[in-house]
Amino acid sequence: MAGARNLLILILLLMLHAHCPQGAKILTICLVGGSHYLLMDDVSRILQDNGHEVRMFRQIGDGTLPGYKMPSTPYPVSTYSLDEKTLKEFDKFFTEYQKEFFMGKAGFQFFINLMNVFANQCRISMNQTDILDFLKKEQYDIAIIDAFNPCTFFISEKLGIPYISIFSGNIGNAIAVGLPSPPSYVPTFASQLTDRMNFMERLKNTLMYIGSYIAENSVQAIFNDIAERHFPADSRPSLSDLYHKAELWIYNVDFSIEFARPLLPHILCIGGLRAKPANPVSQDLEDYIAESAESGFIMVTLGSMLSSIPRMDLVKEINSAFAKIPQKVIWRYKASDWPEGLEVAPNVRLLDWVAQNDLLGHPKIRLLVTHGGMNSMMEAVYHGVPVLGIPLFGDQFNNLIRVKAKRMGEYIPATEIMAENFADAIRNIVGNKSYKTSVMKQSVILRSHPFPPDKQLLGWVEHIIQSGGGGHLRPYSYQQPWYQQFLLDVILFLSACVAAIIYLILRVMRGLIHFIFSNRKQKQN
Ligand SMILES: *[C@@H]1O[C@H](CO)[C@@H](O)[C@H](O)[C@H]1NC(C)=O
């Protein structure tokens, strides 16, 4: 008896072990630098630190983390570098656009051009047969990919591994993912609207909602030739198929920032992976901050990709705005790019790189001046720091509209910044307690989430590996033709029925009237 029981326990233990995802082989794929890399690095670390075997596949050389000293990683990395010519092209592309960002010209055309650059890079990435063959032989259980560059989907598909998409911004690609987004209260990406819309705004939102299907199609078409070259005709995926195939979509956002909206079972909002309790800042900075006494300090960062401002007039205005305020200013700005002959305001210190999360957690911080990237927004909310935004490109307008709608701060487009109004905006936010109160409220929402972001990430990744994929979470709508999904066939049928009934009623009434009138005529006659 006892022997049989022990055997049973042994078998159970073995079964449990077989299902235990400890030591799963996970490939993270990151083809974009800057904040995208920082987020994917955190994701890789969390999984590696929890007993999984992680490797990152990374494209290097886009030079978009100026000033950042890359620490060594606890997981191995497979890298390849783009060739000189492509790197130069990218550099030129990004430098030219930096000016445009600060002129307020970085709309849809920028996005299309960026996707063209990504597609060019992808044609090279997909040709890295040595690395791809090696990765294929490794037989990963799952890939975790930075979804912003669509090439990561083609690479996972080529390697034949299931994948989880990480989207580093807010839910701006809902249409591509097939996420229900009723235009009555879900603002379309780039609409600059909130969830509360009057009639005209809902009209605008609806038109933009329809337009974004067309826009999405034109973006995806850029990658068509890559699918054609690298996949046989009978198993050739479209980008849209690949978006729908992801086991999970994980967004780097939280409802402390995002407006409440419908999700699907495999769409997760896990915001704040990079927001952590602060480490002490360096003694040197601590001394500098101490000089500010009760006024405190403000921090200025315009994103991991931008270490300077290519518009001298704007630097001048911002610098003289800082000279007017009592706070100390810690400004991430590459000192060697500072305009010649311009004196840095006495209360300003320029640094090539800042430990943003640590400074945001400092008790004396009063304000974050930011471009509005999602990592920064989540860190500001986590630490309860009000925000003054200078939105430049991508999802930054979207993010800052949410910040403003939730009263956590304000924003000024770069084209409208003058020393006077910029200083006023700072004084207003720092002096008005309501911003701090609101952001503290949102901070409690983020921090009291029932499960911390790293636990959510780990738990969900393991769930997908254990359950053999996210098929049980994906809605059937993904397989429906669009006219069925939007019930156009049913609506058409019902409309036809209503029309037929109305027609019949009219016919009968006409018949009756005819009958009555002809009766009368007969009587009169
Ligand atoms: C990729 O490889 C193919 C075949 O070797 C070649 O014809 C093509 O030009 C390469 N593409 C790029 C962008 O290097």
The average pLDDT across 506-511 equals 95
> Greater confidence, 306 or 467?
467
Q: Which of 45-49, 239-243, 514-518 has the lowest mean pLDDT?
A: 514-518
248 Rama class: left (phi>0) / alpha (psi -120 to 50) / beta: beta
468: which 2 tokens? 């053999």
Q: Which of 82-91, 223-232, 426-435, 471-480 has the lowest mean pLDDT?
A: 82-91
Up-side HSE of residue 363: CA atoms within 13 Å toward CB?
Answer: 3
Q: In terms of domains, do 270 and 337 share one?
A: no
Residue 404 counted as domain residue: yes
Q: In 3D, which of 185, 203, 184 has the Cα closest to residue 195?
A: 185
The pLDDT of residue 492:
97
Centroid of ligand 1 to alpha carbon of 58 (angstroms): 20
% pLDDT > 70, the chain: 94
Closest atom of ligand 1 to CA, residue 126: 1
Q: In terms of domains, do 409 and 507 share one?
A: no
Which residue has tokens 């058409």? 492
417 Rama class: left (phi>0) / alpha (psi -120 to 50) / beta: beta
Q: Can you list the alpha helix ranges (DSSP code H) found in 332-477?
A: 356-360, 374-383, 396-405, 419-431, 433-447, 453-466
Q: In terms of domains, do 185 and 212 share one?
A: yes
Centroid of ligand 1 to alpha carbon of 143 (angstroms): 25
Closest atom of ligand 1 to CA, residue 124: 13
Rounded to the nearest 5°, which phi and psi values hold at 456? -60, -50
* Smallest CA separation from ligand 1 atom 4, residue: 127
Average pLDDT score over the chain: 92
The pLDDT of residue 70:
75
Closest atom of ligand 1 to CA, residue 123: 13
Q: In terms of domains, do 395 and 512 share one?
A: no
| Beta-sheet strand order (sheet of 248-251) | 77-81, 53-60, 25-30, 142-146, 163-167, 248-251, 267-269
Centroid of ligand 1 to alpha carbon of 42 (angstroms): 33
CB atoms within 10 A of CB 352: 15
The average pLDDT across 466-477 equals 94
* Smallest CA separation from ligand 1 atom 6, residue: 127
Q: In terms of domains, do 255 and 324 share one?
A: no
Centroid of ligand 1 to alpha carbon of 155 (angstroms): 15
Residue 479 counted as domain residue: no
Does residue 230's CB lie within 6 angstroms of at least one atom of ligand 1?
no
Does residue 123's CB lie within 6 angstroms of at least one atom of ligand 1?
yes
Centroid of ligand 1 to alpha carbon of 231 (angstroms): 14
* Smallest CA separation from ligand 1 atom 10, residue: 127
* Residue 403 reports pLDDT greater than 90: yes
The pLDDT of residue 4:
66
Q: Which of 64-78, 187-201, 289-303, 354-368 has the lowest mean pLDDT?
A: 64-78
The average pLDDT across 391-420 equals 94
Centroid of ligand 1 to alpha carbon of 154 (angstroms): 16
The pLDDT of residue 256:
95
Residue 115 counted as domain residue: yes
SS3 state of residue 267: strand
The pLDDT of residue 34:
84
* Residue 267 reports pLDDT greater than 90: yes
Q: What is the pLDDT of residues 389-399, one digit of tens each?
A: 999 988 899 99
pLDDT band at 77 (very low <50, low <70, confident <90, very high): very high
Residue 473 counted as domain residue: no
Centroid of ligand 1 to alpha carbon of 226 (angstroms): 11
The pLDDT of residue 306:
81
Q: At what angle do helices 312-323 and 419-431 cross, to 10 degrees?
A: 40
Q: In terms of domains, do 406 and 501 share one?
A: no
Q: In terms of domains, do 400 and 315 share one?
A: yes
Query: Residue 222: which residues within 8 A CB-CB, separation 6 or more?
Result: 112, 115, 116, 119
Residue 474 counted as domain residue: no
Centroid of ligand 1 to alpha carbon of 127 (angstroms): 6
The average pLDDT across 375-400 equals 94
Residue 232 counted as domain residue: yes
Q: In terms of domains, do 194 and 263 share one?
A: yes
Q: In terms of domains, do 232 and 311 share one?
A: no
DSSP 153: H
Does residue 127's CB lie within 6 angstroms of at least one atom of ligand 1?
yes
Q: What is the pLDDT of residues 191-224, one digit of tens each?
A: 999 999 999 999 999 999 999 999 999 999 999 9
Q: What is the pLDDT of residues 4-13, one digit of tens each?
A: 666 666 565 5
* Residue 81 reports pLDDT greater than 90: no
198: which 2 tokens? 């009057």
The average pLDDT across 88-113 equals 84
Does residue 480's CB lie within 6 angstroms of at least one atom of ligand 1?
no
From 123, 130, 226, the mutation candidate for ligand 1 (largest count of ligand atoms within 8 A of CB) is 123
The average pLDDT across 43-49 equals 97
The pLDDT of residue 144:
98
Q: In terms of domains, do 463 and 439 share one?
A: no
CATH number of the domain within which 316 lies: 3.40.50.2000
> Greater confidence, 365 or 18?
365
Q: Count structural domains, the chain.
A: 3
The pLDDT of residue 88:
86
Q: In 3D, which of 366, 522, 350, 351 has the Cα closest to residue 431?
A: 366
Centroid of ligand 1 to alpha carbon of 92 (angstroms): 23
Q: CA 369, CA 377: separation in Å to the nearest integer?
A: 11
Residue 504 counted as domain residue: yes
Q: In terms of domains, do 35 and 90 share one?
A: yes
The average pLDDT across 254-278 equals 94
Q: In terms of domains, do 72 and 198 share one?
A: yes
* Smallest CA separation from ligand 1 atom 1, residue: 127
The CA distances from residue 73 to 49, 70, 429, 454, in Å, are 11, 9, 39, 18
Residue 480 counted as domain residue: no
The pLDDT of residue 454:
96
From 127, 129, 131, 225, the mutation candidate for ligand 1 (largest count of ligand atoms within 8 A of CB) is 127
The CA distances from residue 349 to 317, 328, 353, in Å, are 16, 8, 12
Centroid of ligand 1 to alpha carbon of 229 (angstroms): 10
In one-letter notation, the amino acid at residue 448 is S
% pLDDT > 90, the chain: 76
* Smallest CA separation from ligand 1 atom 3, residue: 127
Q: In 3D, which of 262, 276, 324 has the Cα closest to residue 298?
A: 324
Does residue 6's CB lie within 6 angstroms of at least one atom of ligand 1?
no
Q: Which domain holds residue 299?
A: 283-447
Centroid of ligand 1 to alpha carbon of 227 (angstroms): 14
Q: Cβ distance 30 to 40 under 8 Å?
A: yes
* Smallest CA separation from ligand 1 atom 2, residue: 127
* Smallest CA separation from ligand 1 atom 7, residue: 127
Centroid of ligand 1 to alpha carbon of 68 (angstroms): 33
Does residue 124's CB lie within 6 angstroms of at least one atom of ligand 1?
yes
Q: Cβ distance 400 to 372 under 8 Å?
A: yes
